[in-house]
């Protein structure tokens, strides 16, 4: 029987597969020779492969365009990137190459849009959807964009009071809005209804009492979001149908309503065994909207999505070196790595998120079951969950041998949640940050976006 790590992967998954390959017993990521890259830059290392962002956008657009063509759907599809999933400039620059729109979540998000506009990346006719529960600074900044002749600003009303605040600052100036419907949470969740949005039972009253009598306010969009994502299960399809039904009821009262926003939630690959039929799911979503509109004899709306994690998640990876081994009892062997896992991959610690974990080198070695431990002194600084079992299988190496580990598809949210730079648990620094792109001839190029965080910058924040 074969016992190498390569054998284990071949027995468990189809390999090689999209994004992952092997050459000389070392791992390739989108054709990138990772061992050579890590020898060049060292670890810990955060890597972003920029072309993957555009690949994801094109893939989703193609699925929606295909569904619209097959079903002869008369509305348009609008891909919207929600900036909260990753705010870095290089991400927004890559996203905006693909004729997409933007979604914001906070006051400083608007400042980010102004920066992009000043550099010619966001024109004043770009559609910008403003989501979230809006405090006064956020509302003021949105109104400032409307007053500065941005023509497609679309603040989504989250509650009964927000529209009054917008009118306070905008007066009689015409402006467009959306309304968010509060969806019901999954049955096992800690509460029944999302804290965001207006209850379905109040949507029509909200329109009658707050919008219909205001000639300068045009309701353009109905928005809802299913927090668990777009999944082929009874819960998702039930919430989608409820949202579509609410749109149809509201459209009969409101002639200006022309768009339905189904939020985000397309999943990304978090295992080599990941399977998801994007084409079927998107076709069925478009079909259900079309059928409901035909039944209610109303025009088919433009469809908006807000894909964040899907857009940027698969572009990212984090790499560590195994710097020590500890056999703590008969069954538990620990590979200790050169940074904190809970600092750099907070989703794995906070919400039990799975990333694709693979060794970069030594695929020809026998494998063994291990836990992976981070450098901080916290009991929760470990990673031990993969598709195989609660513990992970990795190549067996001697204590003085070099082994690199990669956590893949970690490009969304991790930096924002852990606090990029800033202060980390046990004062462990943020890793070096490297970007990879392709030049005009299609050759891979790499450069350092940010060096390892140094102690001086961290101690300055602390007042030293």
Give the HSE-up count for residue 152: Cα atoms under 13 Å, Cβ half-sphere: 13
Phi, psi of 65 (to 5 degrees): -60, -40
Supply the pTM of this predicted model: 0.92
Phi, psi of 443 (to 5 degrees): -85, 145
Q: Cα–Cα distance between 188 and 260 in angstroms, integer? A: 27
286 has a pLDDT exceeding 80: yes
Lowest mean pLDDT among 127-131, 271-275, 431-435: 271-275
Question: In this predicted structure, what is the pLDDT of residue 426?
Answer: 80
* pLDDT-derived band at 187, boundaries 50, 70, 90: low
Average pLDDT of the chain to the nearest whole number: 90
Maximum distance among all alpha carbons in the chain?
78
Phi, psi of 143 (to 5 degrees): -60, -35
Where, residue-wise, is CATH 3.20.20.10 in the chain? 73-307
Buried b (16+ CB within 10 A) or exposed e, 256-280: ebbbbbbbbbbebbbebeeeeebee
Mean predicted confidence (pLDDT) in 98-111: 96
311 has a pLDDT exceeding 70: yes
Q: Cα–Cα distance between 180 and 206 in angstroms, integer? A: 11
Helical axes 51-71 vs 278-296, angle rounded to 10°: 40
Fold of the 5-50+314-461 domain: Lyase, Ornithine Decarboxylase; Chain A, domain 1 (2.40.37)
345-355 pLDDT tens trace: 877 666 667 88
Q: Cα–Cα distance between 70 and 76 in angstroms, integer? A: 14
For the record, the structure tokens of 4 come out as 């190498």
Lowest mean pLDDT among 139-143, 148-152, 347-351, 410-414: 347-351
* pLDDT-derived band at 388, boundaries 50, 70, 90: very low
* pLDDT-derived band at 389, boundaries 50, 70, 90: very low
Q: What distance lies between CA 357 and its chain's CA centroid?
A: 19
For the record, the structure tokens of 242 come out as 């409820």
- Give the right CATH number for 73-307 from 2.60.40.420, 3.20.20.10, 3.40.50.300, 3.40.630.30: 3.20.20.10
75 has a pLDDT exceeding 80: yes
Phi, psi of 117 (to 5 degrees): -65, -40
Where, residue-wise, is CATH 2.40.37.10 in the chain? 5-50+314-461
State the first-to-last Cα distance of the chain, in angstroms, to the nearest integer: 59
319-343 pLDDT tens trace: 999 999 988 888 888 899 999 887 8
How big is the CA angle at 40 (ends 440 and 365), to the nearest 5 degrees? 110
Residues 179, 212 contacting (CB under 8 angstroms): no
Residues 358, 20 contacting (CB under 8 angstroms): yes
Question: In this predicted structure, what is the pLDDT of residue 386?
Answer: 52
233-268 pLDDT tens trace: 998 999 999 999 999 999 999 999 999 999 988 999
189 has a pLDDT exceeding 70: no
Residues 156, 144 contacting (CB under 8 angstroms): no
E strands, 91-235, where? Answer: 101-104, 128-130, 153-157, 175-182, 198-199, 217-223
E strands, 98-174, where? Answer: 101-104, 128-130, 153-157
Q: Cα–Cα distance between 152 and 127 in angstroms, integer? A: 5
With the C-alpha atoms ordered 203, 208, 213, 215, is the resulting torsion angle positive or negative? positive
CA nearest neighbour of 177 among 195, 194, 196, 158 = 158
Q: Are strands 382-383 and 356-359 parallel, antiparallel or unpaired?
A: unpaired
385 has a pLDDT exceeding 60: yes
């Amino acid at each position: 029987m074969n016992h190498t790590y390569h054998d284990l992967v071949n027995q468990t998954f189809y390999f090689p597969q999209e994004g992952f390959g092997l050459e000389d017993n070392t791992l390739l990521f989108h054709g990138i020779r990772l061992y050579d890259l890590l020898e060049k830059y060292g670890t810990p290392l955060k890597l972003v492969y920029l072309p993957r962002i555009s690949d994801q956008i094109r893939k989703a657009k193609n699925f929606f365009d295909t569904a619209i063509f097959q079903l002869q759907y008369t509305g348009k599809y609008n891909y919207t990137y929600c900036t909260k999933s990753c705010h870095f400039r290089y991400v927004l620059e890559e996203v905006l190459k693909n004729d997409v729109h933007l979604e914001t979540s906070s006051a400083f998000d608007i400042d980010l849009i102004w920066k992009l506009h000043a550099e010619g990346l966001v024109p004043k006719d770009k559609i910008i959807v403003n989501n979230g529960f809006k405090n006064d600074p956020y509302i003021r900044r949105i109104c400032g964009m409307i007053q500065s002749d941005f023509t497609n600003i679309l603040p989504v009303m989250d509650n009964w009071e927000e529209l009054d605040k917008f009118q306070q600052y905008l007066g009689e100036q015409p402006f467009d809005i959306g309304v968010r419907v509060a969806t019901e949470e999954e049955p096992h969740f800690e509460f029944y209804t999302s804290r965001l949005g207006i209850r379905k039972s109040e949507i029509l009253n909200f329109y009658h009492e707050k919008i219909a009598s205001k000639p300068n306010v045009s309701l353009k969009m109905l928005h809802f979001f299913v927090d668990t994502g777009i999944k082929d299960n009874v819960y998702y399809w039930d919430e989608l149908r409820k949202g579509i039904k609410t749109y149809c009821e509201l459209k009969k009262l409101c002639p200006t309503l022309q768009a339905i926003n189904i939020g985000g939630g397309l999943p990304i690959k978090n295992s080599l065994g990941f399977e998801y039929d994007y084409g079927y799911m998107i076709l069925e979503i478009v079909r259900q909207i079309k059928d409901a509109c035909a039944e209610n004899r109303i025009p088919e709306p433009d469809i908006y999505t807000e894909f964040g994690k899907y857009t940027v998640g698969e572009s990212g990876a984090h790499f560590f070196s195994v710097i020590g081994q500890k056999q703590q009892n008969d069954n538990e062997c620990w590979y200790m790595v050169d940074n904190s896992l809970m600092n750099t991959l907070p989703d794995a610690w906070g919400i039990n998120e799975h990333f694709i974990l693979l060794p970069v080198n030594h695929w020809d070695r026998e494998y063994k079951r291990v836990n992976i431990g981070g450098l901080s002194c916290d009991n929760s600084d470990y990673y031990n969950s993969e598709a195989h079992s609660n513990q992970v299988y990795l190549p067996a190496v001697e204590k003085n041998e070099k082994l690199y580990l990669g956590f893949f598809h970690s490009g969304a949210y991790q930096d924002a949640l852990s606090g990029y730079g800033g202060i980390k648990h046990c004062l462990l620094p943020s890793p070096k940050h490297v970007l990879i792109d392709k030049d005009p001839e299609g050759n891979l190029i790499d450069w350092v976006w940010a060096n390892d965080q140094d102690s001086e910058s961290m101690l300055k924040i602390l007042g030293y």
